[in-house]
Amino acid sequence: MNNRCLFCAQQTTTACCLGCRTIDQSTMFETLLTLLGKASIVGNYYDQIKVICHQIETLEWLLTPIQFTPVTHFDLKIHRLDQDAKLYLQQASLDVQNMIPIEVAADGNCLYNSIICLSGNTASTPSELRVRTLIELVKNEIFYSNRFMHIVGPLNEVMKNIAHNFAFSELYEIAALSNVLKCNIRSIYPIIDYRPHLHIMSSTFEHAQCNIMFKAICLFWTHTESDIDARSSNAGNWSPNHFVPLLLPSDNSQSQNHLAQPKISDSGSASSSL
Model-wide pTM > 0.85: yes
pLDDT given at position 207: 86
Tell me, rounded to whole angstroms, the distance of Cα 257 from its chain centroid: 24
pLDDT given at position 272: 62
User: Beta strand pairing status for 216-222 and 184-188?
Assistant: parallel
Q: Write the CB contacts of 167 (distance below 8 Å, at least 6 apart in sequence).
A: 108, 161
Distance CA 11, CA 101 (A): 48
CB contact at 8 A, 111 and 178: no
CB contact at 8 A, 183 and 114: no
The DSSP 8-state label assigned to residue 107 in this structure reads S
Is residue 198 exposed (0-12), middle (13-18) or buried (19+ Cβ within 10 Å)? middle
As a whole number, mean pLDDT of residues 20-28 equals 96
pLDDT given at position 123: 80
pLDDT given at position 273: 58
For the ranges 108-112, 114-118, 121-125, 177-181, the lowest mean pLDDT is seen at 121-125
In CATH terms, the fold of domain 83-271 is: Cathepsin B; Chain A (3.90.70)
pLDDT bucket at 106, cuts 50 / 70 / 90:
very high
pLDDT bucket at 217, cuts 50 / 70 / 90:
very high
As a whole number, mean pLDDT of residues 5-15 equals 95
Is residue 206 within a helix (H) or strand (E), and if so which, with residue range?
strand 203-206
In whole angstroms, how large is the CA radius of gyration of the chain?
A: 19
pLDDT given at position 267: 39
Where are the domains positioned within the chain?
3-57, 83-271
Of 143, 127, 139, 137, nearest to 170 by C-alpha is 137
What is the pLDDT of the chain when averaged over all its residues?
Answer: 89
pLDDT given at position 194: 86
For the ranges 30-34, 181-185, 261-265, the lowest mean pLDDT is seen at 261-265
**pLDDT of residue 146 exceeding 60:** yes
